[in-house]
Each structure stands twice: as structure tokens, then as C-alpha cells.
């Protein structure tokens, strides 16, 4: 048996959400009320012609409809963008958002999209959730900013108090609030170095931890994230991650050295003395790297090696956290207890807020005044986080996440049976992805076909994004409380997109 990630089979089963939809503004008259979200656009119909277009080296096709064109308001804004925003600011679509609610987003031309991207994992309870909107409005009426270095606010303290019991770290804990996931990782490294009095940090191939200097150094995928930005931070070491679908060892799972994290042990034996290493940082599931789900024993082995050498373990749960994997945090699913845990994205339902939670003695390592920032723990963002926590406590979000995860797995497995383009299905809870390949035997990344699938989806009302070291992974990050119809409609659009690309590839092979 080759070391690889198992794929499931069977027909897709409908997802039954227990969370009710919200349809009215609940935060008071001071907030402008939106009109009803328009009907979906881009529904395919008989008689549509097919337009060929080129992505990279391969010419592919999508159904030609009015939805596939960039309309007037969108075109105007994209033109204005070119004049004032530098090219380095990336956009995965040509969509210009106007408003959103729940699992739907509407662009400036009134076209509605089912949102399977969730703001890249920041909207686990959906757009403009009433609990969040209510908390934000209440806080806006009192105080919108003061700076934590000047005066404390109760929302900051309350967020920390409510986070600590949720984080799978035993014993006494403390938390610091920050603005972004990258800031959380940066500060986790600072805290680890201050506590251990060591400098070295170990990360993993395929990782993504942010775009600041240290987090960029810790991340893989040089193009585009590192191009032209060196030199990078020193004292950083990198070892392989357990990416079973592309395992270079081709061994059985019980004998695969990656399962036992042997490269990490070898690093400490050959490359660097572990007494110089402050921390090992790991994503329990790699996000930007392609939603790579490692065997649980791999992460447990990493933890064991860290413990044996007095090295701190930092879990980057910025994308996996807040219910995405079916548990509040992915560490619970795989059975590890890190020393420090980084939180972000869905913590505040899309507002800028992140956190580092860790063992109290470790968190108290830095000297007074060495942590913080002008906007960290902003009261509006903290209010949003309290609304998110309210929703998790009262609406059964984790139960919904587990059911959604089962539905995603079933849908993806059914699509894999239909389309040879899908080489691997990877899920942990509602964190799911498919890896597209030119052939299942050779596993050559199907980058162009992936882009064609995404463009078809965008043209037909589904907001979907990619990931992976070769841009050949399609990931889903829809709200955990997505309505049944939105989920089914979204997967139908994806099915149609894969069928369209498959049809073109079959025609191309015959020609």
C-alpha cells in the first residue's frame, strides 16, 4: 500500500442546516438597509455558444453568456483601480463586491454569488451575522478607538476571558489580541524567543504564515509571496510536511518516515542543536499550501520531539480555527496541545483581529511594554468577536460544521468518481479541497484547468478560490451555517464547471 491520503466514495448527500437564515437588519436604523439580494445570474440555457480563451499554455472554454462579461460599473472600477493601486496587490477574481448577507455576495452590477470563499476563511458564520452586527452597533454608540497602550477596554478583556477556555492548551493561559494573522505569528515568535532565550525557529515546507518579514520567511511558495523581497529573516529552518498525496518516500503509512516526523529529528541531530531552537511552528492543516491534511501521528510526533528537547510548539490555527475542521480548533481533532496557538480570520467575522493564546508562564516571558500596537484589540473588532462567540454558544455552529464537513466530503468524492481531473480529495471537517491533475498516474498539476474551472464558476454565480503550491487545488470555505439550497446550488455549478473542462479536454485529445 502506497503512503497516500485515502479518498472516499459514494453519492453526495444533501446538507441539512439547523441554523435559520436571517433576512432583516437587526442593528438599528443608523445602518443603511439593503434591498433584497437579486436573483442569481448566469444560469446556463440551451443554445449558448462556447467561447474559447487561453489560460497559460492551454486553451479552454466556458459557456458564453452575459454573466461572463465584465459589465459597466465593474469595468469602470477595475479601470480606476489600475490608476491608483499598485500591481502587487493581488485579486483572484474580477468581481467588485457591493454588499452581502449570509452566504451570498452581490457585486456592484447586482450580480449575486454563492460565497464558497468566505473571505478566505474569515466568515465562518457568514456575512453580516445579526449577533455580530448587534455587538458592533452597541460598541459604536460608546467608543470606537482608544489604543490599548493608552487605556484598557472591557471588550479586550472579555474576548480574552472567553477565548481561554476554548483553546486546547492545559493549565493556566493568557491571551494577547492583535490585528492580523501575520501579527499573531510574529508575536508568537517574539514570545517564544523571550521565554526560551533561544533564536531559532523551525517551519515546514508548504507552509503559509503571512506576508511580513518573519512570516514571509516562514512561508513557502516563493512566487509570488517572496519574489524580490529578500534578504529574509535569519535563524529559520525548514523541514518536510506530511503531504501524503505527493509523498516522495512511496512507502506504507506505518513505515513512512514523515509520519514519525523523522526529518525534524534529523534536523536536530545533524543541522542544528535543538538547544538553539525556540519553537517549531506548524499548521495542523496547511491552508495556502493546498489544504494538506497530515496523518494525526505526524503532528503528535512533532509535539513529542519538541517536548523532548524543550522546544515550544506553536500551532497556527488562523485558517483552521473557529469551527472550520468540525472542532473549535484543529488541534483537538488530532490530539495535540501546543504551547502557543495563533488565532485570526473568523475570530471577528472578517474584522481585523487576531490573537495569541498560550501557557501563562510562556506568555509572561516578554518584558512589560514589549507587546502591543496602536490598533491591537480595537473595541469594534473585539465587539465583533464577542458576537461570533455568542453565535457559537447559542446556534450550534460546531454541529453544523460537522454536518457540513460530511456533505463536502460526499460531494467531492462523488465528483472524483465522475472526473479523472480530480486526483485527491482532502477534508478535515468543513475544511475541504480537491487537487486537480492532468492524469491520476502522473499527478502532474492541472494549473490551467483549475483556473478554467474557477473562471466558469465565477461566470455562473459561484465565488470559489484556489490554493496549493502549484495553484491546482480548489478549496471551499463557505460559511459553516450555509443554507441547504446555497450549498447544493454551489456544488452544481462546480459540477458543471468540471464537466465543461472535461468536455474540452476530451475534444482536445481527439483532435
Bridge-based pairing of strands 277-282 and 200-204 is parallel
> pLDDT tens across 236-269, in order?
999 999 999 998 775 666 667 777 789 999 999 9
Does the pLDDT value for residue 42 go beyond 90?
no
Residue with the larger pLDDT of the pair 23 and 299: 299
What's the confidence (pLDDT) of residue 106? 98
**What is the rounded distance in angstroms from the CA atom of residue 456 to the CA atom of residue 63?**
8
All cell numbers assigned to 6? 485515502
What's the confidence (pLDDT) of residue 253? 60
**What is the rounded distance in angstroms from the CA atom of residue 228 to the CA atom of residue 89?**
15
**Quick one: what percent of the chain has pLDDT higher than 70?**
84
> pLDDT tens across 428-443, in order?
999 999 999 999 999 9
What's the confidence (pLDDT) of residue 53? 29
- Tell me the residue length of the chain: 511
Q: Using CB atoms within 10 A of its CB, is residue 68 exposed (0-12), middle (13-18) or buried (19+)?
A: middle
Does the pLDDT value for residue 63 go beyond 60?
no
Does the pLDDT value for residue 502 go beyond 60?
yes
Stated as kind and residue range, the H or E segment containing 83 is: helix 72-84
Other residues' Cβ atoms within 10 Å of the Cβ of residue 70: 15
**What is the rounded distance in angstroms from the CA atom of residue 501 to the CA atom of residue 210?**
33
**What is the rounded distance in angstroms from the CA atom of residue 477 to the CA atom of residue 322?**
12
What's the confidence (pLDDT) of residue 458? 97
Lowest mean pLDDT: which of 169-183, 212-226, 370-384? Answer: 212-226
Q: Using CB atoms within 10 A of its CB, is residue 54 exposed (0-12), middle (13-18) or buried (19+)?
A: exposed
Identify whether 224 is preceded by a cis peptide bond (ω within 30 of 0): yes
First-to-last alpha carbon distance for the chain, in angstroms, is 37
Residue with the larger pLDDT of the pair 70 and 156: 156
Nearest 5°: phi and psi at 202? -110, 135
> pLDDT tens across 445-484, in order?
999 999 999 999 999 999 999 999 999 999 999 999 999 9
What's the confidence (pLDDT) of residue 71? 66
Q: With beta carbons less than 8 A apart as the criterion, state whether 336 and 304 touch.
A: no
**What is the rounded distance in angstroms from the CA atom of residue 263 to the CA atom of residue 282?**
14
Helices (H) and strands (E) in the chain, counts: 15, 17
For residue 185, what are the contacts with CB-CB under 8 A and spacing of at least 6? 209, 210, 214, 215, 218, 281, 314, 316, 318, 342
What's the confidence (pLDDT) of residue 223? 86
pLDDT grade for 504, boundaries at 50, 70 and 90:
confident
Cα–Cα nearest to 346, from 116, 97, 125:
125
What's the confidence (pLDDT) of residue 375? 97
Residue with the larger pLDDT of the pair 346 and 44: 346
Q: With beta carbons less than 8 A apart as the criterion, state whether 61 and 49 touch.
A: no
| H-assigned helices in 164-316 | 181-196, 213-218, 222-225, 262-266, 296-309
Q: Using CB atoms within 10 A of its CB, is residue 178 exposed (0-12), middle (13-18) or buried (19+)?
A: buried
Cα dihedral 109, 41, 406, 393 in deg (nearest 10): 40
Stated as kind and residue range, the H or E segment containing 340 is: strand 340-343
Q: With beta carbons less than 8 A apart as the criterion, state whether 148 and 316 touch.
A: no
Instruction: Transcribe 480-492 into DSSP letters.
Output: TT--HHHHHHHHH
For residue 16, what are the contacts with CB-CB under 8 A and spacing of at least 6? 403, 484
> pLDDT tens across 71-81, in order?
689 999 999 99
Bridge-based pairing of strands 431-436 and 422-428 is antiparallel
pLDDT grade for 401, boundaries at 50, 70 and 90:
very high
Q: Rounded to whole angstroms, what are the CA distances from 256 to 3, 248, 259, 261, 290?
A: 7, 10, 6, 9, 21
Does the pLDDT value for residue 82 go beyond 50?
yes
Degrees to nearest 5, angle at CA 34 with 30 and 38: 175
**For the residues 71-99, what does the mean pLDDT come to?**
93
Degrees to nearest 5, angle at CA 350 with 348 and 353: 50
pLDDT grade for 65, boundaries at 50, 70 and 90:
very low
Cα–Cα nearest to 5, from 409, 398, 401:
409
Q: Provide the edge-to-edge strand list for the sheet that holds 97-101.
A: 97-101, 104-107, 112-115, 462-463
Does the pLDDT value for residue 3 go beyond 80?
no
**For the residues 19-35, what does the mean pLDDT come to?**
34
- pTM for the full predicted model: 0.86
Bridge-based pairing of strands 236-239 and 277-282 is unpaired
Q: Which domains does the chain have, with CATH numbers?
A: 50-125+396-429+452-510 (3.90.1150.10), 171-370 (3.40.640.10)
**What is the rounded distance in angstroms from the CA atom of residue 151 to the CA atom of residue 451?**
48
**What is the rounded distance in angstroms from the CA atom of residue 114 to the CA atom of residue 41?**
11
Give me the chain's average pLDDT, please: 87
Q: Rounded to whole angstroms, what are the CA distances from 316 to 252, 345, 405?
A: 28, 12, 21
Does the pLDDT value for residue 173 go beyond 80?
yes
Cα–Cα nearest to 342, from 372, 366, 321, 325:
321
Residue with the larger pLDDT of the pair 16 and 149: 149
Stated as kind and residue range, the H or E segment containing 280 is: strand 277-282
What's the confidence (pLDDT) of residue 14? 34
Amino acid at each position: 500500500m502506497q503512503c497516500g491520503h485515502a479518498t472516499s466514495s459514494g453519492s453526495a448527500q444533501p446538507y441539512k442546516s439547523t441554523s435559520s437564515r436571517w433576512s432583516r437588519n437587526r442593528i438599528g436604523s443608523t445602518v443603511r438597509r439593503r434591498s433584497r439580494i437579486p436573483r442569481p445570474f448566469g444560469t446556463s440555457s440551451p443554445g449558448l455558444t462556447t467561447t474559447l480563451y487561453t489560460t497559460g499554455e492551454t486553451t479552454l472554454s466556458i459557456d458564453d453568456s452575459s454573466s461572463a462579461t465584465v459589465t459597466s460599473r465593474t469595468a469602470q472600477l477595475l479601470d480606476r483601480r489600475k490608476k491608483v493601486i499598485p500591481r502587487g496587490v493581488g485579486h483572484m477574481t474580477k468581481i467588485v463586491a457591493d454588499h452581502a448577507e449570509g452566504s451570498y455576495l452581490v457585486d456592484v452590477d447586482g450580480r449575486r454569488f454563492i460565497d464558497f470563499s468566505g473571505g478566505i476563511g474569515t466568515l465562518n458564520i457568514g456575512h453580516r451575522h445579526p449577533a455580530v452586527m448587534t455587538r458592533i452597533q452597541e460598541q459604536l454608540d460608546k467608543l470606537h478607538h482608544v489604543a490599548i497602550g493608552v487605556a484598557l477596554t472591557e471588550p479586550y478583556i472579555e474576548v480574552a476571558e472567553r477565548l481561554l477556555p476554548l483553546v486546547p492548551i492545559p493549565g493556566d493561559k493568557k491571551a494577547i489580541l492583535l490585528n492580523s494573522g501575520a501579527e499573531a505569528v510574529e508575536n508568537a515568535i517574539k514570545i517564544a524567543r523571550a521565554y526560551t532565550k533561544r533564536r531559532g525557529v523551525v517551519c515546514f515546507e508548504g507552509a503559509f504564515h503571512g506576508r511580513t518579514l518573519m512570516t514571509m520567511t516562514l512561508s513557502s511558495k516563493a512566487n509570488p509571496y517572496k519574489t524580490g523581497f529578500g534578504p529574509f529573516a535569519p535563524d529559520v529552518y525548514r523541514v518536510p510536511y506530511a503531504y501524503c498525496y505527493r509523498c516522495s518516500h512511496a512507502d506504507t503509512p506505518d513505515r513512512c518516515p514523515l509520519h514519525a516526523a523523522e526529518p525534524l529529528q534529523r534536523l536536530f541531530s545533524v543541522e542544528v542543536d535543538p538547544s538553539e531552537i525556540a519553537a517549531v511552528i506548524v499548521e495542523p492543516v496547511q491552508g495556502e499550501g493546498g489544504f494538506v491534511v497530515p496523518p494525526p501521528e505526524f503532528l503528535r510526533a512533532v509535539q513529542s520531539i519538541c517536548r523532548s528537547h524543550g522546544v515550544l510548539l506553536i500551532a497556527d490555527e488562523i485558517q483552521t480555527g473557529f469551527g472550520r475542521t468540525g472542532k473549535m480548533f484543529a488541534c483537538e481533532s488530532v490530539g495535540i496541545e501546543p504551547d502557543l496557538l495563533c488565532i485570526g480570520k473568523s475570530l471577528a467575522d472578517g474584522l481585523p483581529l487576531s490573537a495569541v493564546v498560550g501557557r501563562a508562564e510562556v506568555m509572561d516571558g516578554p518584558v512589560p511594554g514589549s507587546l502591543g500596537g496602536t490598533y491591537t484589540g480595537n473595541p469594534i473588532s473585539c465587539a465583533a468577536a464577542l458576537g461570533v462567540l455568542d453565535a457559537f454558544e447559542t446556534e450550534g455552529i460546531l454541529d453544523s460544521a460537522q454536518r457540513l464537513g460530511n456533505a463536502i466530503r460526499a460531494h467531492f468524492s462523488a465528483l472524483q468518481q465522475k472526473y479523472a481531473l480530480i486526483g485527491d480529495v482532502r477534508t478535515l471537517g468543513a475544511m475541504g479541497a480537491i487537487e486537480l491533475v492532468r492524469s491520476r498516474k502522473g499527478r502532474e498539476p492541472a494549473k490551467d484547468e483549475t483556473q478554467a474551472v474557477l473562471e466558469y464558476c465565477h461566470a455562473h454565480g459561484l465565488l470559489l478560490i484556489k490554493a496549493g503550491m502549484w495553484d491546482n487545488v480548489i478549496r471551499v470555505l463557505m460559511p459553516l451555517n450555509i443554507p441547504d439550497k446555497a450549498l447544493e446550488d454551489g456544488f452544481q455549478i462546480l459540477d458543471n464547471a468540471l464537466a465543461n473542462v472535461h468536455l474540452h479536454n476530451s475534444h482536445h485529445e481527439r483532435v
